[in-house]
Amino acid sequence: MALITPDKWGALPPRKTRPFHKSSVKGIAIHWVGVQVNGDSAEITRSIDRYHRETKGWWQIAYNATIGQDGRGYEGRGFRNRSGANGSGRANRSHAALCLLVGPGQKPTDEMIHATRDAISAFRRLFPAALEIVGHRDVKKRTECPGDYIHTLIRDGVFDPGETMPGETPSTTPTSGYPVPNRLLKRGDRGDEVAWLQYQLNKHGANLKIDGIYGPLCRAAVIRYQSNNGLVVDGLAGNKTISSLIGAAL
C-alpha cells in the first residue's frame, strides 16, 4: 500500500514543516476521528485538513497520515515531519500520528488494518528504532482516542507489521509503503518517492541506504537496472523505468 500524496488528494501546501530528529522518535500513536464518518476517504481527509488549517490555525493537517476504511492511505505531514496531533510538543517529537478514519461504533476493516500495518512498516524503515505502537490516550491524558476497541487491538499487536495476523502466514512480498513516483526522478531529488525507488532497486540486487536521496549510488543502481532490463540507460527514473519496477514488484 503506497500512501496517496497530498497533491493527489487535494491538500494545500503546508505553511511550514518541522522534521523529526531521529534520536527523539519512539514510534507511532494511533488516532481516530472521534465521530462516526462515512463516505469517500479522500474527502474526509480534505475536511480534516480544512478544519485543522482554518479553525485550528495549524500549518496543515496535523496527522502524518490517514487511513480509510477502504484501505487507502493518505500522506498528511509525511513520516519525515513531526505531527501536530498528539497533544504536546514532547509527544509530537516522539511519535508520528496515524489517524484511522473511523469513530465510535465503527470497527476497522481488514483493509484498514492491512494498510495501517503497511504504513507503520514504511515509518519503521525511516526510523528502525521507533518500534512503539500506542494509542493517542497513551501519550495524552484526558482523551479516549482512539476508543476502547481500537486500543485493545493496539495492545494485542494487531497493527504491528512484525506480528502475523490470525489465520495468515508471513508475506514473502511486502509492499514498500512509500508512494509510487508520478514524476521523473533524477540525481539531486529527495523525498519518499525516491525512497520507493531505492526500496525497489534493493529488491534487484542494489544495496542502497533508503534515505530518500537520489545521489550517485542511487543513480548507479538505476543505470545497472536499466542495463539489465533492456531500458534506455540514462540514469533517470522516468516512466518506463518506474513502470518496469512496478511490474517486477507485482
Residue length, the chain?
250
Instruction: Provide the whole-model pTM.
Output: 0.69
Q: Per residue in 38-56, pLDDT tens? A: 999 999 999 999 999 999 9
Query: For 192-249, CATH number?
Result: 1.10.101.10
Residues whose CB falls within 8 Å of the CB of residue 222, separated by 6 or more in sequence, listed in order: 197, 201, 235, 236, 237, 241
Query: Can you name the residues that pair with 135 across neighbouring β-strands?
Result: 30
Q: Between 248 and 103, whose confidence is greater? A: 103
Separation CA 140–CA 134 (nearest Å):
11
pLDDT of 170 reads 46
Asked whether residue 173 carries a pLDDT value surpassing 90, the answer given is no
pLDDT of 171 reads 47
Asked whether residue 199 carries a pLDDT value surpassing 50, the answer given is yes
Q: In this structure, what DSSP letter does residue 81 have?
A: B
pLDDT of 176 reads 62
What are the extents of the domains in the chain? 6-155, 192-249
Q: Give backbone dihedrals phi and psi of 48, rounded to 5 degrees, phi first.
A: -65, -40
Number of H helices, E strands in the chain: 9, 5
Nearest to 161 by CA among 77, 103, 247, 98: 98
Work out the average pLDDT over 129-144. 92
Q: Which CATH superfamily is domain 6-155 in?
A: Peptidoglycan recognition protein-like (3.40.80.10)
Q: Per residue in 142-153, pLDDT tens? A: 899 999 999 999
Query: What's the whole-number average pLDDT of the chain?
Result: 90
Q: Is 70 exposed, middle or buried (0-12, 13-18, 19+ CB in 10 A)?
A: middle
Apex 178 CA angle, 35 and 211, nearest 5: 125
